Amino acid sequence: MTAQRRHRCGKEVGVRLAARAAYVLRSNSNSADTATKASPELYPHQWSWDAAFNAIGLASVDLPRARTELDSLFAGQWLSGMVPHIVFDPSAGGYIPGPDRWACARVSPDAPAGVLTSGICQPPVHAIAVARLWEHAEALGPDERVRTLVWIRALYPKLLAWHDYLAQQRRHRETGLIEIFHGWESGTDNSPRWDIPYSRVQVGDDLPPYVRRDTGLVAEPSQRPTDEDYDRYLWLVEEAKRAGYDTARLRPTASFRAGDVLFTAIFASADESLARIADDLGEPQAAVLRGRAAQSRGTVLRCCDPETGLAADVDLRTGEWLRTETIAGFAPLVAGGAPPHLRHRLVEQLLGPRWAGHPRLRWPLPPSTSPFSPAFDRRSYWRGPVWPVMTWLLTLALRREGEIAAAEKLTAAGLDQLGDGTFAEYYDPFSGEPCGSLCQSWTASAALDWLLADPDVPVQAE
């Protein structure tokens, strides 16, 4: 690594924080040093969208290892093209539901041979990560450039298959939204976004017993979803398993079906990244990918509330709009290309009193649910805490959309929040206390990217 870097929080502090973040991220590597645990104890396996965020963090300090991160994840890709939400480390254990409960290879011919995975997916941040890795490679000089290009060429068909799976099997015909069958697929598990669809999930009498482990691994069990939530989560796994994790079979019987606006927005942005990759590789799919990204962006815009600009999800079992004030409402910023008046409205909202400008906040950062929402709960997982990885996603989007001042504001506050070096999974927005898992990999990645990534400034020696 070279010494020359951009520091946004004072040089000394920045160097120390970056060193600690790099240490946390690298310490969370599995024993083979091929994949990063989402966190040391609570999540001792590789999660799908975590792997993408972590590859971005790793790229600031070790580009080859960042490439390996994504290779390991895609080793678990299904024949259908789906990238599973967890790739299990057989030597790690300790997570409920584990690979036996998912039983993917037993029920689906699409499950990969020799790799243990879950049977559902998460938002497709991966192509966005690959584009970021490519920026790093370009800044590092010819050797890394060539190596990374060769790598991207090999990964490209897998990314394409993943995106095609989403477009063909998960795009809901009427709304155009990406359809999810489990809150876990949204990555925002117990967010009040899903309260209405979850309220309709009837847990079957034949739910096999299970013992939770997660509540014992956080400071207060109330920081995790409730037991009632968990019964539903495990029941939805049973439903999906009984349908062989086949969306066509699952759709008619699923008791949870939602059109996820944030997932759709991430898909739009990822298709745009993949189109740029296709251009660089001289592959012929760029125009199709751009067309699909535009379609997804159009879908997201149709979900926006005319007054606030915030986007809503849809309960696909009833057609009902799900308009809770959660961070997913900012999906149009993530999707990109929103008309200027809408973009300004959203940025105004984001920095305003219902969100990052709320007077009680410890740091001016958007909580996962607005404190004005009746569903807000400051310490409960996705129901109120600030998630640094979400702040990071918004700063990426704001910068890309030319909203530099807003991006810089959130970046500075985001770094202040991480200054205690705990790199927590989420933070109480009012007291600033770290919650959930400590040493969460994607939180460390966010810090690294904020502190070190600048395509114009080389951060690694060749």
Based on the residue annotation, tell me whether 449 is a catalytic residue of this protein.
no
| Active-site residue identified among 214, 272, 315, 425 | 425
Q: Is 119 in the site for ligand 9WN (CB under 6 A)?
A: no
Q: Which two tokens stand for residue 135?
A: 């920026």
Stretch in the footprint of ligand 9WN (CB under 6 A) among 45-53, 244-252, 274-282, 364-372 = 45-53
Q: What is the DSSP string of 316-357?
A: TTTTEEE---BGGGGHHHHH----HHHHHHHHHHHHSTTTTT
Q: Which is nearer to ligand 9WN, 47 or 78 (CB)?
A: 47
Q: What is the DSSP string of 378-405?
A: TTSGGGS-B-HHHHHHHHHHHHHTT-HH
Q: Which is nearer to ligand 9WN, 120 or 415 (CB)?
A: 120
Torsion 221-223-226-229 (CA) sign = negative
Q: Which is nearer to ligand 9WN, 38 or 140 (CB)?
A: 38
Min dist CB 220 to ligand 9WN, Å, is 15
Q: Is 334 in the site for ligand 9WN (CB under 6 A)?
A: no
Based on the residue annotation, tell me whether 425 is a catalytic residue of this protein.
yes
Residue 87, φ and ψ in degrees, nearest 5:
-110, 115
Cα–Cα dist 317/326, whole Å: 21
Q: Is 124 in the site for ligand 9WN (CB under 6 A)?
A: no
Stretch in the footprint of ligand 9WN (CB under 6 A) among 5-13, 47-55, 392-400, 448-456 = 47-55
Cα–Cα dist 306/311, whole Å: 9
Q: Is 263 in the site for ligand 9WN (CB under 6 A)?
A: no
Q: Which is nearer to ligand 9WN, 40 or 357 (CB)?
A: 40
What is the DSSP code (8-state) at residue 244?
Answer: T
| Residue pair 181/254 in contact by the 8 Å Cβ criterion | yes
In sequence order, the β-bridge partners of residue 321 are 314
Q: Is 47 in the site for ligand 9WN (CB under 6 A)?
A: yes
Report the half-sphere exposure of 37 (CA within 13 A, side-chain side). Answer: 26
| Residue pair 129/70 in contact by the 8 Å Cβ criterion | yes
Q: Which is nearer to ligand 9WN, 49 or 181 (CB)?
A: 49
Applying CB under 6 A, which of residues 9, 24, 25, 38 lies at the interface with ligand 9WN? 38
Angstrom distances, CA of residue 275 to CA of 97, 127, 159, 292, 298: 36, 9, 11, 10, 17
SS3 category, 310: coil
Q: Which is nearer to ligand 9WN, 151 or 184 (CB)?
A: 184
| Residue pair 176/112 in contact by the 8 Å Cβ criterion | no
Stretch in the footprint of ligand 9WN (CB under 6 A) among 43-51, 198-206, 234-242, 444-452 = 43-51
| Residue pair 32/65 in contact by the 8 Å Cβ criterion | no
| Active-site residue identified among 189, 325, 403, 428 | 189
Q: Is 43 in the site for ligand 9WN (CB under 6 A)?
A: yes
Q: Which is nearer to ligand 9WN, 324 or 460 (CB)?
A: 324
Stretch in the footprint of ligand 9WN (CB under 6 A) among 182-190, 248-256, 334-342, 360-368 = 182-190
| Residue pair 192/324 in contact by the 8 Å Cβ criterion | yes
For the chain, the distance separating the N- and C-terminal CA atoms, rounded to the nearest angstrom, is 9
Q: Is 184 in the site for ligand 9WN (CB under 6 A)?
A: yes
Q: Is 187 in the site for ligand 9WN (CB under 6 A)?
A: yes
Q: Is 69 in the site for ligand 9WN (CB under 6 A)?
A: no
Active site residues: 189, 425
- The residues that touch ligand 9WN, with contacts defined as CB under 6 A, are 38, 43, 47, 49-50, 85, 184, 187, 189
